[in-house]
Amino acid sequence: MADLSQNDWTKQLNADNNSVVLDVRTQEEVDEGIIPNAIHIDIYKGQAFVDELEGLDKTKNYYVYCRSGGRSGQACGIMDQLGFNNAYNLKGGFNEWQGEVAHQE
């Protein structure tokens, strides 16, 4: 797991053709906007969160974010324990995100 600055996270993500963006915020937070093409799994789901992670492809590189970087850091730690090799935490989270934002219908 690595904590990456907004700039490094975005640069690395854009150069990565084996990447998945993972949003671990609540549905209410996601309703306010999401990084385009991110998949959403709420970390507060507890065991259901772990179960959904287990269904993901562990050979991919995961770019994980939450509102400020705390929950996504926890999520990266859980992913490491589950055998994911590459999970990158977005320092500052969505609060400091300068990139594109999508709104779900």
Q: What is the DSSP string of 19-74?
A: EEEEE-S-HHHHTT-B-TT-EE--GGGTHHHHHHHHTS-TTSEEEEE-SSSHHHHH
pLDDT digits (tens, 9 = 90+) for 66-81: 999 999 999 999 999 9
Element (H, E) at 14: helix 6-15
pLDDT digits (tens, 9 = 90+) for 23-82: 999 999 999 999 999 999 999 999 999 999 999 999 999 999 999 999 999 999 999 999
Task: Give me the active site residues, please.
Answer: 66
Query: What homologous superfamily is domain 2-96 in, according to CATH?
Result: Rhodanese-like domain (3.40.250.10)
Query: What are the Cα distances from residue 67, in Å, to 17, 72, 76?
Result: 25, 8, 14
